């Protein structure tokens, strides 16, 4: 089982008002030229840089995992909660704590050395490229889910699983980029499955 777990409960219903708020938020971000993809790319590149700097300043990789690991995870939890709302996985934005909508847990924090951390920009590319392809499919899944909310105020189970899978994949990759786990993220949408299992694109 992969040590990074992203868990979210499927809402019983989605409101049309929250969908409208999402669309307005996307339009506002588009005006200033910002997208969630750009934010993810920034995190993908910045996290190994941060990890390298902090690992170089730490006596041992374990010190980085114990001192900086919880703080990095807190930031990633908030990022995951916001993305879950934008991605039609959670019905509302979290209030005081990110785990009000999603749960991100790591079984064990195991950091690498400072000399190995920068290489994660390259080693993470295969996972990032596959995720980008699945993300393009995810755009159509999101539109289908949004249409379902407009009509029936719900998201179908398969569409929901696909959107959750995208979130899970992206968060696993960012935790890996932050050098908080040694294991390479599995090419899977599932929380406990074979690392070679790819998701099916069906969204009915």
Which residues lie closer than 8 Å to 121 by C-beta, 6 or more apart?
Answer: 44, 45, 48, 177
Closest CA to 56 of 108, 118, 123: 118
pLDDT at 196: 34
What percent of the chain shows pLDDT beyond 90?
A: 65
Confidence class for position 198, pLDDT limits 50, 70, 90 = very low
pLDDT at 1: 81
pLDDT at 192: 63
Predicted confidence (pLDDT) per residue in 53-107, tens digit = 999 888 788 888 888 889 999 999 999 999 999 999 999 888 778 777 889 999 8
What percent of the chain shows pLDDT beyond 70?
A: 94
Give domain limits for the chain: 4-177
- Spell out the alpha helix ranges (H) of the chain: 16-31, 36-57, 61-67, 69-86, 120-123, 125-152, 157-177
pLDDT at 193: 43
pLDDT(10) > 50? yes
Q: What is d(CA 158, CA 153) in angstroms, rounded to the nearest whole number?
A: 15
């Amino acid at each position: 089982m992969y040590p990074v777990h992203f868990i979210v409960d499927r809402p019983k219903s989605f409101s049309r008002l929250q969908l409208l708020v999402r669309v307005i938020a996307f339009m506002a971000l588009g005006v200033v030229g910002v997208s969630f993809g750009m934010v993810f790319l920034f995190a993908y590149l910045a996290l190994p840089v941060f990890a390298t700097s902090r690992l170089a300043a730490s006596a041992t990789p374990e010190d980085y995992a114990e001192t900086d690991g919880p703080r990095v995870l807190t930031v990633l939890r908030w990022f995951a909660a916001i993305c879950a709302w934008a991605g039609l996985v959670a019905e509302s934005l979290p209030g005081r704590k990110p785990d009000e909508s999603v749960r991100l847990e790591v079984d064990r924090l195991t950091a690498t050395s400072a000399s190995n951390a920068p290489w994660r920009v390259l080693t993470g590319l295969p996972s990032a490229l596959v995720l980008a392809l699945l993300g393009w499919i995810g755009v159509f899944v999101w539109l289908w889910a949004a249409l379902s909310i407009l009509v029936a105020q719900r998201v179908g189970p398969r569409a929901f699983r696909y959107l959750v899978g995208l979130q899970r994949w992206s968060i696993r990759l960012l935790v890996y980029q932050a050098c908080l786990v040694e294991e390479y993220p599995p090419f899977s949408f599932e929380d406990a499955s074979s690392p070679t299992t790819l998701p099916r694109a069906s969204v009915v």
